């Protein structure tokens, strides 16, 4: 089985452009990445529960960093935690292009 990771992201909202009355996108910036130990890489209920516990712990460790509301004009920062196959696979690297 491939290695799996848990990554904590800071998510902020950014203005994309004026097309169609204006559009916005989320920017995911990785803050912390943890490799899931080999013994929890399987797909049993025990390993899924352990991974869920790891995700919950990371979310709890970073929840104090959240503020405001990213979907409101007052701005903010949201913390998201993802289980990934590739390290930091949900990181935003380039501004999306409107089509």
Domains: count for the chain: 1
Matching residue, tokens 């516990």? 53
Residue 99: per-residue pLDDT? 74
Residue 39 lies in a domain: yes
Residue 97 lies in a domain: yes
Q: For the chain, how big is the Rg over CA atoms in Å?
A: 16
Q: How far apart are CA 92 and CA 88, in angstroms?
A: 9
Structural domain range at position 67:
1-44+58-99
Give pLDDT < 70 ranges for the chain: 1
Residue 1: per-residue pLDDT? 52
Total-model pTM: 0.89
Neighbours of 70 (CB within 10 A): 18
Residue 82 lies in a domain: yes
């Amino acid at each position: 089985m491939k290695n799996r990771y848990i990554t904590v992201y800071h998510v902020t909202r950014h203005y994309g452009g004026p097309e169609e009355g204006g559009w916005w996108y989320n920017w995911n910036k990785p803050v912390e990445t943890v490799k899931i130990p080999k013994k929890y890489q399987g797909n049993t209920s025990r390993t899924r529960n352990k991974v869920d516990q790891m995700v919950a712990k990371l979310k709890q460790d970073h929840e104090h960093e959240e503020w405001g509301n990213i979907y409101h004009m007052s701005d903010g920062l949201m913390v998201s935690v993802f289980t990934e196959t590739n390290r930091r696979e949900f990181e935003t690297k380039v501004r999306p292009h409107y089509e």
